[in-house]
Each structure stands twice: as structure tokens, then as C-alpha cells.
Amino acid sequence: MTASRRGLLVLAAGTVVVVATFGVSWALAPDTDRLSDAGDPDNTTLLVGVQGPGPNGNVTALDGRGTVEWSLGGIISYQNVQSLDDGTVLATFAAGGYDDCGPYDPPCKRTGVRIIDPVPEPAVVSERSYPVKTRRNSEVHDAEMLPSGNVLVADMEWESIFVYDPESGDREWTWNASDHYEAPPDPRSEDWLHLNDVDYVGDDRFLVSIRNENQLLVVERGEGVVEVINEDGDEGLLNRQHNPHWIGEGAIVVADSENHRVVELHREESTGEWEVAWSVSGVGGIPFDWPRDADRLPNGNTLVTDTRNNRVVELTADGSLVASYDVPSLPYEADKLPHGEQPADTEGLEPYDADATSDRGFFDRKVPILWLVLAGARDVVALPHWVSAVHVLAAAVGAVCWTWGGYLIARARLGGKG
């Protein structure tokens, strides 16, 4: 067989591998936009904060059938969203291009809280923000309006939580994570703790997520840290989690992000230790990929923001799909209205039974190295949910075949053989 013919065969083999792998996956992939008979499309609005790859951060509202009602974006990122009583939306954000940069050189990035009014056209009507030192891992990931009318903020720049008056902008209270953890010389210069969430849970107590320590803290005003969940940082319990939701004394549902699952943790009465009482690693035939929000709804279902699959899903205690919505790329957090997530309001939020664990047996697509390449790609471009590490491998095989086949053909032509 001539070199040029071998080259053509190698080129063809690479093409077959790539086309077959991607084509079969595309043809057999479950739909991410689905509504079961148990859904409630006529009385639902989904409010989503989207981090987005590139300057595509946005806040998007969808109706119960997944149709976009309104959207506002075009910045680095939006994260947490909360619908307020007057119809406006409180959202945390990060944006670049500011000239007001404090101690930093302009243009700079600022982060903080915006109020968005969707009527008559979505627009930012107010903003409280501050400049940050680094472009990455310094966003305000969470904020919520408290019953007092003040705003509670999870500050990643200085690794703290604080409460401020939205009228004056003055801080009313601050708790610094350095009161509990040993701080580096300048927490602004590194991703130290990644304090990414805070919720008011009543009685002057706050549930705080410390992502990089795999821990949740209960912080009480005047007392400091009164409880540590996952004190030894066990990755089998929590692994770089996001958005824990307090659903009553001794029960928390949380997006266990790097374990690619949602778990419900219960405090054991006899030992005081927190253990996984319920977990689910996917729904609708699709494994979760970096979920970053999980809320228990008053109807007993759980709402999950499945970030790298670019969807928001509602599921039952046994893991059955109620609804799945396509949303813009890299969603961070979602609320189902009119419920929303009200501070310290756990009425109607029921923990799941400890024997209701639903793992569904989804296969693990997180192949080392290949998965890291894929995860990095999803942070830059929007990819279909069915693209996995297998496809990265197929693309690599195809690239090798095309390179080698091209080399054989070129060598034959230059040598006059073939």
C-alpha cells in the first residue's frame, strides 16, 4: 500500500471516530427542555442568575414553559437573584470597565449588588459596589434582603459577611472569616476561602458557605461561629459546595458541586454530627455537572441549577423529573417564583426521609485530565450537555489521525511516491 493511500485511510479513520462519537451522542442525548405532567407551567416564573462564559453574565426570567420573559446582561457575571416585594430583582454582579477604582488602577472590576426593574424594559435602577483587586474569585456571590430592609452580603474580596442599609450604604454589622480562620497577609490577592454564600436562618444566626474548606458555618451575631458542619473538611461529605439552603433545624440541602450531586444533610441527634440523608447525582437521564444551587420548594420538590449542563431542573424526593429548563450558559442560581427564597422562612419546607436516597446509578464521566480540559472549555464557550470527556478523547484521536495522515500524504507527494 502506498504512503498516500495509508495517509488517506488514517484521515478517514480519524473522521469516522469523530463523526461517530459526536453524531451518536447528539442523536441519543436526552432533551434538557422537558415538562412532565406533574409540572405547573401556568403559575411559574423562573428567575436565573447567569455567570456566563466571557462578558455574558445576565439575569433571565422564564415562564413555566421555558419561554424567556425578559433578560438583562452583557457584563462579567451575575450570581444570586432574589425577587423583591415591589417586583424588582436584587442581584449580585461583577462588571469591568470602571474608572472609580479606589486604590487600584483604572479601568477596574467592581462587584456588589444591583436592583433591576424589569418594567417596562429591564434596567438597573440602583447599584452598591466596590472595586476589587483581582479579576477572578473576588465577586460578591450572594446577597439577600433581610426582613429589616437591610441587605446581607457574602463578600469574597475580604472573606466576610456584612449587613448594610440600602438607603445610606452604611454597614450595620460585619463578621470577618479571619476571626475563625488564619488569614494570609492579603486575602484580596488569592482565592483564600471563597466565601460564596450566606443566608439568614433566624435568631441572629447566619448559615455561611466556606467553599475552599468544604465547610458550612453557623455564625451568630455577638458570638461568632457556633457550629461547624464538616469540621474535618471531608470531601466525601462536601466538596467545594455552593448555596446551602436551611430547611429547618437539623436539615440542610446543598449543591455538593465538585461531587456533582445534590445532598441533604441531617444532624444526628445522638452525636451532633452531620451526615448525608439523601443524595441525587442526576435527573432526566443526564448526570449533574457542577450543580451550584439547590432549593427545597414548598411543594416538596427540589430545584437544582445544573451549571455545566446549562439547565435548571425540578425533581421529586425519589429523583423523578418534574421539569427541566434550558437556560443561558453557566447559570449560577435560580429561584422558582412566586416562592423564591425568603430569609429564615422555612414554613412548608420539609426534609426528606433518610431512606429516600436516590443515586440513579449514573455513570461517572469525570475522567481525570480530560474532564479538566472539558471543564475549562465550558468556562469559555457554551457546549451541549452531552459533550463529555469521551468526546475530548475522540477529538484528540481525530486530531492525531488528521495530522499523521496529512504528514503521510505530504511526504509521499514530496518524494514522488504514491
Answer whether residue 355 shows pLDDT above 70: no
Q: Which amino acid is at 165?
A: D
Per-residue confidence (pLDDT) for residue 388, from 0 to 100? 85
Is 132 domain-assigned?
yes
d(CA 361, CA 18): 27
Owner of C-alpha cell 432549593: 295
How does DSSP assign 368-386, residue by residue? TTHHHHHHHHHTTS---TT
Same domain, yes or no: 352 and 394: no
Q: Rounded mean pLDDT of 330-345? A: 82
Is 35 domain-assigned?
no
289-329 pLDDT, tens per residue?
999 999 999 999 999 999 999 999 999 999 999 999 999 99
The DSSP call for residue 270 is T
Is 376 domain-assigned?
no
Is 203 domain-assigned?
yes
Answer whether residue 337 shows pLDDT above 70: yes
Q: Which amino acid is at 191?
A: D
Same domain, yes or no: 9 and 90: no
205-223 pLDDT, tens per residue?
999 999 999 999 999 999 9
Count of domains for the chain: 2
Is 16 domain-assigned?
yes
Radius of gyration of the chain (CA): 24
Same domain, yes or no: 314 and 357: yes
Is 382 domain-assigned?
no
Per-residue confidence (pLDDT) for residue 196, from 0 to 100? 97
Q: Rounded mean pLDDT of 185-191? A: 91
Same domain, yes or no: 145 and 292: yes
Is 36 domain-assigned?
no
Pairing between strand 286-287 and 282-283? antiparallel
Same domain, yes or no: 237 and 178: yes
Same domain, yes or no: 295 and 404: no
Same domain, yes or no: 259 and 326: yes
d(CA 303, CA 178): 33
Owner of C-alpha cell 451522542: 25
Same domain, yes or no: 119 and 174: yes
pLDDT cut 90: percent of the chain above it: 75
219-271 pLDDT, tens per residue?
999 999 999 999 999 999 999 999 999 998 899 999 999 999 999 999 998 89
Contact criterion met (CB below 8 Å) for 79 and 140:
yes
Same domain, yes or no: 187 and 312: yes
Domain that holds residue 7: 3-25+388-415
Same domain, yes or no: 216 and 139: yes
Per-residue confidence (pLDDT) for residue 110, from 0 to 100? 97
Same domain, yes or no: 313 and 352: yes
Q: What are phi and psi of 335, to 5 degrees?
A: -125, 140
Q: What predicted TM-score, i.e. pTM, was given to this entire model?
A: 0.90
CA torsion sign for 393, 395, 401, 407 is negative
Answer whether residue 362 shows pLDDT above 50: no
77-114 pLDDT, tens per residue?
999 999 999 999 999 999 999 999 999 999 999 999 99
Is 166 domain-assigned?
yes
377: confidence class by pLDDT, cuts 50, 70, 90: confident
Q: Across-strand partners of 195? A: 210
Per-residue confidence (pLDDT) for residue 397, from 0 to 100? 95
CA torsion sign for 130, 134, 135, 139 is negative
Same domain, yes or no: 141 and 285: yes
The H-or-E segment that residue 104 falls in is none
